[in-house]
Structure formats: structure tokens, C-alpha cells
């Protein structure tokens, strides 16, 4: 089985890790770290969606042993589990069979063009240079993609991989067993309410406080790193409107949990944000009708 290096993994899965707006005023993320911790882990991952599970699997394959994932929902999967699951990547095997000429450089160029030139070119280059390694990594663990690639909405070229079975949930069906096999501990119904640094506004992040299913507050110390993979804020109208007022009253296809709870906690300990107004929006339900138009399939079937 192949494994992703730290650079390769970060490059191929970087998406939106941060993200909410009001938490209870009693929460003060910049408080001093506790003198005594309830739990200890080498790697603490916050969020058990596709990004969080992939982080844990990759870390375990690179030698990290004691990994803990905290998930506020009673189930794993996050928005990945309800997504269309399309995965854009150059693929010399599938694309060659379809007579499609492609390259990581073209993928990077079109990614920048699709984002109106506002993305960070170096991050885009890293992502497109490593995306096929991520495809192979997933396939080595049992992920199955359809034989043909296609052009997905929002993409500018036919390089999108479609999961063979149940769309986005296929990734979770592959990654969760890998976590189990590696002994990764996943605590659901565990909502993170505070992050700790070595000092209030300096030093590395060393742990977190969470509330368990019984309402108990517990702390976790992370010996090596804390990774926040809590997804977007599409289900948080107030936060959407903060960055784009037009988004206040729109409906969403996100899970209700997509409220971006970790954004204010990370900002309180000194984190910065970028691209928060980059909100993807699809045509929804016309006034007076109830049926939502699904546009997550083939772009060639639609006239925009």
C-alpha cells in the first residue's frame, strides 16, 4: 500500500479547514492551558469528515501511533458523506483511454482561472502536482472510481473522478475502516469549545477542551500536533452574511453541523483567515417550487 508524505498529503487535500460565528460568551479560547490534562494524544484531529479521517490515516501510515479524533456529531463523515464526491485530478491512465491530453500545469492554470485568479498560486501548484498521488493512495486502500473521467460543474476540463458506488460516502467507507485498523480513537458527540497554546498568544497549539455527550468538559493534550478539519460554514447564515451579505437568507445543501465552530476559537489564539468570502453557490429552488435542481453531475448537460 502506498502512503502519502506529509507534503504530498497536505498538498492534495487542502481545502477549507477553518470556519462560525457566535459561541457562548463564557468560552474564552485564549485562557491558559490546564495544569492537569484529562487525556493525552500524540495527534489530535478535530473533525471526522473526509479531511479529518484522511489526516488520521496518513499520519498513522507515517508512524504516528496515538491519534484521537473529536467529532461533535453523533456520526462520522461530515459533508463528505453527502457530497457528490467528484475528485479533480490529472490521470494518465483514465484520460489516455479517453484521448484527453492533460498535465498538472494545465490543471493548475485552469484552477487559478476558475477562481478568478484569487487563489494562492503556490498552494494550487502543490495541490495539482500531488493530486494523482492522492487518487492512487485512495485506490490502494480500496476506493473505486469509475473508468471514465468527466467535467464537473465548476471545473474547466474533463478530469473529475466519480466514486463508483455511493458518491461522497464512498470515501468514508474506505477511510473509517483504515482508522479502525490503525487503532485511531474517534469520539463522537464531542464538541470542541477551546484551544490551548503554550502561551495565550504565542507558541504552538498544544491541546483542546471539549464537551462530551453527557455535558462534561474534558481536556486533551496533543504531544505532536493539533489538526483542525472542521469543514465549512455553509449552514451558518450569520457567518455567510458576514462575508457576503447576499448569502443571509439562502438555503443550503450542507449538513446542519456545518457552522464553522472553530473559526473564532482559532482567531482568539492568533490564527488568521483567508478567502472567507469564497462561497460556492449553485442555482437552487425557483420561487414557488419545491424541487432543488441538482448540478453536481455533468456540466455538459446544462446551459448556464
Compute the distance between CA of residue 247 and CA of residue 29 in angstroms, rounded to an integer: 28
d(CA 212, CA 120) in angstroms, rounded, equals 37
Helices 6-13, 50-61: inter-axial angle, 10-degree rounding = 170
Residue 159 inside a domain? The answer is yes
Residue at 200 is within a domain: yes
Tens digit of each residue's pLDDT (9 = 90 or more) over 32-44: 789 899 999 999 9
Q: Residue 31: give the domain boundaries.
A: 6-228
Distance, CA of 280 to chain centre: 15
Q: What is the mean pLDDT of residues 266-278?
A: 91
Domain assignment present for 86: yes
Residue 23 within any structural domain of the chain: yes
CATH number at residue 158: 3.50.50.60
Please give the DSSP secondary-structure letter assigned to residue 147. S
Let me know if residue 39 belongs to a domain: yes
Domain count, the chain: 1
C-alpha distances in Å from residue 220, one per residue of 109, 176, 211: 42, 22, 11
131, part of any domain: yes
Alpha carbon of 225 to those of 34, 185, 201: distances in Å? 17, 16, 17
Q: Helix-strand-coil percent breakdown of the chain, rounded to 5?
A: 30, 20, 50
Model confidence at 297, pLDDT cuts 50, 70, 90, reads: low
Instruction: Tell whether 87 is covered by a domain.
Output: yes
- Look at residue 137 and tell me if it is in a domain: yes
Spatial CA neighbour of 77 closest among 171, 180, 9, 191:
171
| pLDDT tens digit sequence for 89-127 | 999 999 999 999 999 999 999 999 999 999 999 999 999
Average pLDDT of the chain to the nearest whole number: 88
User: Pick from 127, 101, 99: which is nearest to 112 by CA?
Assistant: 127
Per-residue pLDDT at 16 exceeds 50: no
Q: Which residues pair with 187 in a beta bridge?
A: 70
Amino acid at each position: 500500500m502506498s502512503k502519502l508524505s506529509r507534503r504530498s498529503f497536505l498538498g492534495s487535500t487542502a481545502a477549507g479547514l477553518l470556519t462560525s460565528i457566535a459561541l457562548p460568551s463564557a468560552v474564552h479560547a485564549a485562557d491558559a492551558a490546564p495544569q492537569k490534562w484529562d487525556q493525552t494524544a500524540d495527534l489530535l484531529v478535530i473533525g471526522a469528515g473526509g479531511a479529518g479521517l484522511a489526516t488520521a490515516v496518513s499520519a498513522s501510515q507515517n508512524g504516528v501511533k496515538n491519534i484521537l479524533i473529536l467529532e461533535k456529531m453523533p456520526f462520522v463523515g461530515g459533508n463528505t458523506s453527502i457530497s457528490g464526491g467528484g475528485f479533480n485530478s490529472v490521470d494518465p491512465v483514465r484520460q489516455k483511454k479517453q484521448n484527453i491530453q492533460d498535465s498538472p500545469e494545465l490543471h493548475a492554470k485552469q484552477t487559478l482561472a476558475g477562481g478568478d485568479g484569487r487563489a494562492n498560486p503556490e498552494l494550487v501548484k502543490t495541490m495539482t502536482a500531488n493530486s494523482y498521488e492522492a487518487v492512487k493512495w485512495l485506490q490502494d486502500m480500496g476506493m473505486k472510481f469509475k473508468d471514465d473521467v468527466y467535467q464537473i460543474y465548476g471545473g474547466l476540463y474533463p478530469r473529475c473522478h466519480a466514486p463508483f458506488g455511493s458518491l461522497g460516502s464512498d470515501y468514508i467507507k474506505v477511510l473509517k475502516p483504515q482508522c479502525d485498523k490503525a487503532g485511531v480513537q474517534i469520539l463522537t458527540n464531542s464538541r470542541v469549545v477551546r484551544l490551548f497554546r503554550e502561551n495565550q498568544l504565542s507558541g504552538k497549539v498544544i491541546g483542546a477542551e471539549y464537551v462530551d455527550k453527557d455535558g462534561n468538559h474534558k481536556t486533551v493534550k496533543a504531544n505532536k500536533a493539533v489538526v483542525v478539519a472542521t469543514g465549512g460554514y455553509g449552514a451558518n447564515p450569520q457567518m455567510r452574511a458576514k462575508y457576503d451579505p447576499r448569502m443571509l437568507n439562502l438555503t443550503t445543501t450542507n449538513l446542519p453541523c456545518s457552522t464553522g465552530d472553530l473559526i473564532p476559537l482559532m482567531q482568539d489564539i492568533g490564527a488568521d483567515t483567508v478567502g472567507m468570502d469564497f462561497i460556492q453557490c449553485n442555482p437552487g429552488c425557483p420561487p414557488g417550487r419545491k424541487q432543488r435542481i441538482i448540478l453536481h453531475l455533468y456540466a455538459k448537460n446544462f446551459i448556464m
